[in-house]
Amino acid sequence: MKKILGALAAGVLAFGLGTPAYAAAPPPEFGTDWDDPTTAAPAVERPAGHSCTVQIVDHKFVNFTPFTGTYVPPGGCGAAGSWSKVVLDLHGAVKGRQFDRLGALSLGGVTIFKTSTPEPSADGIQWHVEKDVTQYSALLKSEQPIWMLIGNVVNETYTGILDVQVSLTFYTGAAAKVVGPDHVYGATPHTVQALDGLHREGPDQVGTVTVDRKTERLVAEVYATGSGGGCEEFWYTVAPADTAYSCAYASGPYREVQVLIDGKLAGIASPYPHIYTGGWSNPFLWYAVPAPRAFSIRPLSYDLSPFLGQLTDGAAHRVSVRVVGVPEGQVGWDVPTNILGWQGAGVVTGTAVETADYPASNVVTAGGMRVAVKAGHRFTASATLRTASGQVQVSVDQTVGNDSVHTWSEGENHDELNATWTDASVVSRLGAGPGTGIVKDTKRFTVNGYIDVNSANRLVTKLTLGDYQNWSRIGGGPIERFKLEDVFDGEAGFTLGVPRPERHATGTSQETYKLNGVTRIVKTVNGYRV
């Protein structure tokens, strides 16, 4: 892809680490404006009846200085923490020229939202993102410091100022019962019983946590993204160091996000292959419909309950997050981490945790401008917990995998990836007390596409992305389940080596979102919904 990069704006790397929204005047096919970005995902369901809204951020992001403020719980919405639902809304506006930017929002050191931004038109666009944040109700009961950053650069070339407002709406009406955690511990040295400032220690990012002694269930969530520019933003295309690929410095593209407790493995997960709105060398692909998860980045989840027997001793314990496959000293991953705890009526003790770390496989075949990967890993943990309600047998079984084939031509004028990641877990709680049952969660992520410079000197990007999930809970009440299929299909192209008005840029995209059999579709042509 190096020859392609030489024809594009300086700073564009393999698979498009961002291109400015326009360099002079927008192409005639797109005009000076296009539809505001949208997704096919449905709006968050909100209860009828009374609600209260608190605006927590109103800021114009122009540099890398974070917004800070203070969150105060709403009045007139019932007792703090008794809300039936809490929804976060982000409204943004930007115009001019700008790259896609990453952002995060935390309250009391707890990351509750992570996002990326759209690239603007000359006349400007607006966008809206919403997220159900009810699970953070325990945090929202009390006053908390606010921290938000969307790192941005504004100068004579990149003129887009990110004008952002964020609010929380609290609902008191009837809703499906959500049993949220009693404690939410965030990555900050200033929060009681919190991760004590994640810092890098060798290949890991390390902190400490002190868990409430009555905790009966414990979950870690990691908002993991390869980010900040450089090859780790497109980690799934990194080639072994002995190849001639432009991102070649590691053993290969396999990545796995691990959580460790006191230096010992406690959970594994496949990272999601996020693509932001400048990705794959072609912003024309994303102007009106972003890739799945681009605007609302979901955390990886790890049930750490088998380890409660050692964690409820009142002492501080080391918690580490490790991204497998990243060489020593290589930067490019952001892994803000929260610990969520559900409390019982008495002190919890337990047997020593039994773990099985089945040998991980990572077979990389490289040669002839081709890299093939077949990798996988399985991890199990189990223990018996003694709670106020009686004994509970807890077990976690996790399996992750990656199959990919990456090929490219001389000079990377054709660059193609076909990849699938799998992530399956079974969490079992059997015995006395609430919350018993078996939860099965199976995820599959796919990236199939290419970048090509054809004989007419047009750069063409064609891409299909898939985000699939099957989840079910059996036992402890009625069977619960959901099935998600979120598929993006798109193609965009423009002519290289000519003035911007002569690029004749074109782009078509479609997102098909299916949830429990209900389908929503969004289609666009040259930035306009059809």
Residues 6+ apart with CB under 8 A from 335: 198, 205, 222, 223, 224, 257, 321, 323
Binned at pLDDT 50, 70 and 90, residue 30 comes out as confident
Distance CA(152)–CA(119), nearest Å, equals: 12
Q: Provide mean pLDDT across the span 61-70.
A: 97
For the cut 60, the answer to whether the pLDDT of residue 370 exceeds it is: yes
Q: Which pTM value belongs to this model? A: 0.93
How far the first Cα of the chain sits from its last, in Å, is: 33
pLDDT at res. 476: 80
Distance CA(106)–CA(388), nearest Å, equals: 33
For residue range 422-439, list pLDDT tens digits in order: 999 999 999 987 789 999
Binned at pLDDT 50, 70 and 90, residue 200 comes out as low
pLDDT at res. 206: 77
For residue range 440-485, list pLDDT tens digits in order: 999 999 999 999 999 889 999 999 999 999 999 999 888 999 999 9
For the cut 90, the answer to whether the pLDDT of residue 511 exceeds it is: yes
Q: Provide mean pLDDT across the span 391-411.
A: 97
Q: Please state whether beta strands 239-240 and 248-250 pair in parallel, antiparallel, or not at all (unpaired).
A: parallel
Q: Which phi-psi region, left, alpha or beta, contains residue 497 (left: φ > 0; alpha: ψ -120 to 50)?
A: left
For the cut 60, the answer to whether the pLDDT of residue 230 exceeds it is: yes
pLDDT at res. 175: 54
pLDDT at res. 16: 47
pLDDT at res. 7: 35
For the cut 70, the answer to whether the pLDDT of residue 252 exceeds it is: yes
For the cut 50, the answer to whether the pLDDT of residue 51 exceeds it is: yes
Q: Provide mean pLDDT across the span 98-109.
A: 94
For the cut 80, the answer to whether the pLDDT of residue 261 exceeds it is: yes
Binned at pLDDT 50, 70 and 90, residue 19 comes out as very low
pLDDT at res. 228: 62
Taking the CA atoms of the chain, what radius of gyration do you get in angstroms?
A: 23
* 192 vs 95, more confident: 95
pLDDT at res. 331: 78
Q: What is the rounded average pLDDT for all residues in the chain?
A: 89
Q: Provide mean pLDDT across the span 308-319.
A: 94
Q: Which phi-psi region, left, alpha or beta, contains residue 517 (left: φ > 0; alpha: ψ -120 to 50)?
A: left
pLDDT at res. 5: 35
pLDDT at res. 198: 64
DSSP 330: -
pLDDT at res. 434: 77
| pLDDT > 70 in the chain, percent | 90
Q: Provide mean pLDDT across the span 100-112.
A: 95
| pLDDT > 90 in the chain, percent | 76
Backbone angles phi, psi at 373, to 5 degrees: -125, 135
- Out of 179-188, 335-344, 503-512, least confident range: 179-188
